[in-house]
A and B are shown apart, each in its own frame.
Chain A
């Protein structure tokens, strides 16, 4: 079975600073990879996904992630953070009916 590790539980940044949220996964087979965002008191929304093809995927709100098969990583990045990006972010990996989520990274963007 696959597993997901989000390397930082909290990431504080200042507004307009670059953001990187790190995600590593373990799996012996090909998987699909996702990043979800959870705003306060809301459910999860899909930010972006990697199914196949280009290893650089772009999502909503200016986020992008790069799939690195050799390092089994799927880090999320944004060049310039906005106050409204403050939320919890979850990395997820799936294979067939097995979907695993990381523990989450709380991104706080300060003015």
Chain B
């Protein structure tokens, strides 16, 4: 089954404790992206990757890092999480940068 998986689905952590949210897709898509969803703001792009070893900033990259060492994986790293990063995070992938995106189920992160 074609899908995008994210782990963990739920995470509660404390300020400053490094964490990684994993994202994997099995559709051989070149383009992958991370978004955060906040009430009233819709989805905002954090980072995206057009291919292996190619990443770029989206609209809200501050406080986040990503890497793309393999085509299927695109982890999101928070080196020192802060409470304003409490949000719902989605990973997505697509065949091309401007085609429809396939979304993971989301990761709800709470930073206290």
Contacts and interface: CB of A to CB of B under 8 A. Distances in A.
**Do chains A and B stick together as partners?**
yes
| Residue of A32, A34, A44, A46 with most partner-chain B CB within 10 A | A44
Nearest to A103: B42
Contact of B100 (A9, A46, A97): A46
Nearest to A49: B100
B73 interface: no
Contacts of A4: 42
- Name which of B4, B41, B42, B45 has the most chain A CB atoms within 10 A of its CB: B42
Interface residues of B, number: 24
Main secondary structure of the interface of B (DSSP, over half): strand
**By DSSP majority rule, is chain A's interface helix, strand, loop, or mixed?**
strand
B98 A94 contact: yes
A96 B98 contact: yes
Given A90-B42, A97-B50, A45 B97 contact: no
A97 B103 contact: no
B24 interface: no
Given A32-B98, A97-B50, A99-B101, A43 B41 contact: no
Interface string A1-44: 00010100100000000000000000000001010100001111
Contact of A44 (B31, B41, B98, B103): B103
A100 to B, nearest CB: 8
Given A43-B103, A94-B98, A101 B43 contact: yes
B101 A103 contact: no
Contacts of B48: 97
Interface of A: 4, 6, 9, 32, 34, 36, 41-46, 49, 90, 94-97, 99, 101-104
Given A42-B105, A103-B42, 11 more contacts: A4-B42, A6-B42, A41-B106, A44-B90, A49-B100, A94-B97, A96-B97, A97-B56, A97-B97, A99-B45, A101-B44
